[in-house]
Structures are given as C-alpha cells and as structure tokens.
A and B are shown apart, each in its own frame.
Chain A
Amino acid sequence: MARNINRPLSPHLTIWKWGPHMLVSILHRGTGMALSIAGLVLLTWWLLAIAGGAASYKTFTEAATHPLGLFVLIGLTWAFLQHTASGIRHLIMDVGAGFELNTNKTMAYATMAASLLLTLALWAYILLVRA
C-alpha cells in the first residue's frame, strides 16, 4: 500500500518560525560541507605545494594572498570556528544538557558570537600585526 500523497511528510524549513538554534543547526551542516570540499582541497594543495618545491609553493602563496584567495581563507577560518563552536554545543547536547529554552538559545547565539569574534581577532592579528 502506497503512502497517501495528500498527507504531509515531516514539516520542513518553510513552516517554522526561525530561531537561533535552527540557524546554528543549518550553519553546522553548511560549514561542514564547505570544510569537506574547499577545506580539504586547500589542505591537500598546501601540503602538495610544500612537497613540490619552491615553484609550486610560490603558485600557492600567490593564490592565497590574492584578494579572492584571502576571502576564501577568511571564509574557511570562520567556517572552521563556527563548526567547532557548534560542534562543542552538539557534544554538550549529546550528554543531555542544554535543552532548556533559554540555555539553548544562549548557547546558539554564543557559537555565532565566538566564531565571528575569533575570526576577526585572528585575521586582524595576521593582517595588521604579522604582515
């Protein structure tokens, strides 16, 4: 017997009022996929460039210091920090803690604040102090 197509499946994104916990959950998946694709390709390219010698490393640094390359690096830094912060949130929730509405909401906001502030601090240090 087939499923009655007039009955709705589980309600999805479109019908809920958005909250920070939803945004963080989606960001966790989005940043995870970005890191899986762009992050791993970049990590592999970086290692291959060092292994390949001076010419290949020069190609890498030229791409990495190009405005577009910097945009990708800063974006991936934020993605890594957001995924790490929301990952810690998931580990806390996995042990059964942090499900009270206010705690949950605060933790969700905290992951976004932490990832943005740390990205800003890290790249301000790299571009203004180290460069």
Chain B
Amino acid sequence: MTGPKQMGRFDRNSAPEGKTALGKVRGLGSARHGGEHWVRERVSSAALLLLGVWFIISLLLLPDLRMDTLAEWLRSPLGFVPMALFVYLCFEHSLEGVKVIIDDYQGDDGGRLFWTIVSLFLHVGVGALALFALARIAFGASA
C-alpha cells in the first residue's frame, strides 16, 4: 500500500489545502452525468399516469371483482400487457423515487450506499415476485 494513509475514506466536510468542500468544487461546473436518472423518473411518471388511469378505470368497468373475473381479465391480451407494464413501471418509478429520498436524507456515504443497495434488492425481488404472480395467472393452469 502506497500513498498517504489519511486518503482512505472521502469526507465531504473536510478537504485538503485549506479549502472547504464547497470551495473545492466551486467553478467546476456540473458532473456531466446524473441527468439520465432525472429524465427516466419523469418518463416513468408519464407512463404511469396513463397506466394508472387505465388500472382504475379497468377495475371500475369489470362486472365484479371475483377471482375468476379478474383472472379472465388478466389472461386477455388487453388485461395482461398493460398490467405487466403497470407492475414493472410501479417498481421502476418507486426505485427511482426512493433513490432521491435516500440521496437527500442520507448524508453519510456508507449509509447512502447501504440503503441504495437495500432498496434495489427489495424492489427487484418483490417486483419479480409480482411479475411471477401475473405470469402464473396468465399462463398457469386455470384453477
């Protein structure tokens, strides 16, 4: 291991050469990345606006909410496809939104990394479970 020992972990509140963290970055401009997350969050919100309205109206238009009625609806192309997109985008948009909350309230680098990974694992895991359930309704043997 070479190099100064105190370079181990970046501390946002201290900086070398007698400059504050803000003083160090002032004038450098933007990081030139990070915009994709912002755009993606808005694109998924626009998609969810359409799919959310579709979801509520579809439930209201069904004759009843019995299991067979719902399963039949979710087996049809116009039930399954928008529902699969709705489920996927709900989890995608949630992941993006929770990331903003974590970035805003977790000042500590380690904590931010920890909660980002916890949120990612939970969203991917539970989201996969929800899509599995939908696939089973649509493609499984009808009960």
* A interface list, Cβ under 8 A from B: 1-3, 29, 32-33, 35-36, 39-41, 43-44, 47-48, 50-51, 53-54, 57, 61, 80, 84, 87-88, 90-91, 94, 122, 125
Contact = CB atoms under 8 A, between A and B. Distances in A.
B117 interface: no
Interface string B87-116: 100110010011001000000000000000
A36 B49 contact: no
B20 A1 contact: yes
A40 B133 contact: no
B29 interface: no
B49 A57 contact: no
Contact of B14 (A1, A43, A80, A84): A1
Nearest to A36: B94
Contacts of B98: 33, 36
A61 B140 CA distance: 22
Contacts of A51: 132-134, 136-137, 140
B13 A2 contact: yes
Given A47-B137, A51-B140, A91-B46, A40 B126 contact: yes
B120 interface: no
Nearest to B130: A44
B56 interface: yes
Given A3-B13, A35-B94, A54-B67, A47 B143 contact: no
Nearest to A44: B130
A90 B78 CA distance: 30
B58 to A, nearest CB: 13
Contacts of B13: 2-3
Contact of A1 (B19, B45, B126): B19
B129 A48 contact: yes
Interface in B5-55: 13-15, 18-21, 42, 45-46, 49, 52
A29 B137 CA distance: 33
Given A32-B97, A33-B98, A48-B133, A3 B126 contact: no
Contacts of A91: 42, 45-46
B90 to A, nearest CB: 6
Given A44-B126, A91-B45, A91-B46, A50 B70 contact: yes
Contacts of B127: 40
Nearest to A39: B90
Nearest to A28: B97
A109 to B, nearest CB: 21
A44 B134 CA distance: 9
